[in-house]
Amino acid sequence: MNEKQTVLNNKKNIRRRNGKAFFTGMRDGIPIALGYFAVSFSLGIIAKKAGLTPFQGFLASLFTNASAGEYAVFYLIAANATYMEIALITLIANARYMLMSCALSQKLTSDTPTYLRMMLGCTVTDELFGISVARPDALNPFYTYGAFALASPCWACGTSLGIIAGNLLPLRAVSAFGVALYGMFLAIIVPPCRRNHVLAVLIPLCFAASYGASVAPLLSSVSSGTRTIFLTVAISAAAAALFPVKQDEEAVE
């Protein structure tokens, strides 16, 4: 086989691998898309109160993809806030994505090109981050793109639909879809506990701390996004100091 053919074959293999990752991502994106649809529908109801048209709601969700962040911004738009206030609240409500993005950067092989990293940047949401970081070995960004390709339009359309027809879906259906996201989170955090005893103790502790923070006098008054950052930094730092991860342990994940 000559050199040109080898290169062509390699390219073909990479394309095939990326395609496979993309479809696996789409499959894993189904529960996310369903959950997004339900959540964004209720987000649309708030967007309507802020005076957004269905088209504006669609744009907002397509380009931002952030539940708590959008919620906070719509809330402020309704109050005719300044541009500066919008910028600040966006920064605070979405700062956790920076942590996730840092963690995700460690899942990529160091030769992942910049344009793929920039595309991956669009996809960092709680849920897509969750399934991406749970991949065995290094992350093929196309996996995340696949899930994003399904979930993001659902998020955007759900928002528009929420603006158009706030009370169309029966409450029971919305309520049931609402837990799809949490079910997914559980599917990510629970299985490693069987092997890793630190995580088996840490996760119930996180539940308790999160509950505590949601009722504590000072902490309960800040937004849930800020609370999430605070708890994530504090608990992860404590865990890292007390139980540093061994190399081989990480390799198993």
Partner 1 sequence: MNHNIYVYLAIMAGITYAIRVLPLTMIRRQIQNKFLKSFLYYVPYVTLSVMTYPAILHATQSPLSGAAALAVGITAAWLGASLFTVSAACCAVVFLLELLL
Q: What residues numbered 150-209 form the site for partner 1, per CB under 8 A?
A: 171-173, 175-194, 199, 202-203, 206-207, 209
Among 8, 201, 237, 252, binds partner 1 (CB under 8 A): 237
- The DSSP result for 117-128, as a single string, is HHHHHHT--HHH
Decide if residue 87 touches partner 1 (CB under 8 A): yes
Helices of type H across 106-179 = 114-122, 126-133, 141-164, 171-178
Residue placing its CB nearer to partner 1 in the complex, 46 or 77: 77
Of the ranges 4-12, 148-156, 161-169, 210-218, which one interacts with partner 1 (CB under 8 A)?
210-218
Q: How many binding residues for partner 1 (CB under 8 A)?
A: 103
* Alpha carbon distance 186, 39 (integer Å): 18
Decide if residue 99 touches partner 1 (CB under 8 A): yes
Residue placing its CB nearer to partner 1 in the complex, 7 or 173: 173
Residue placing its CB nearer to partner 1 in the complex, 131 or 154: 131
Nearest CA to 145 among 111, 122, 127, 113? 122
* Residue 40 burial (CB count, 10 A): 24
Residue placing its CB nearer to partner 1 in the complex, 4 or 196: 196
C-alpha pair distances (Å), 181 with each of 84, 127, 149, 250: 32, 7, 17, 26
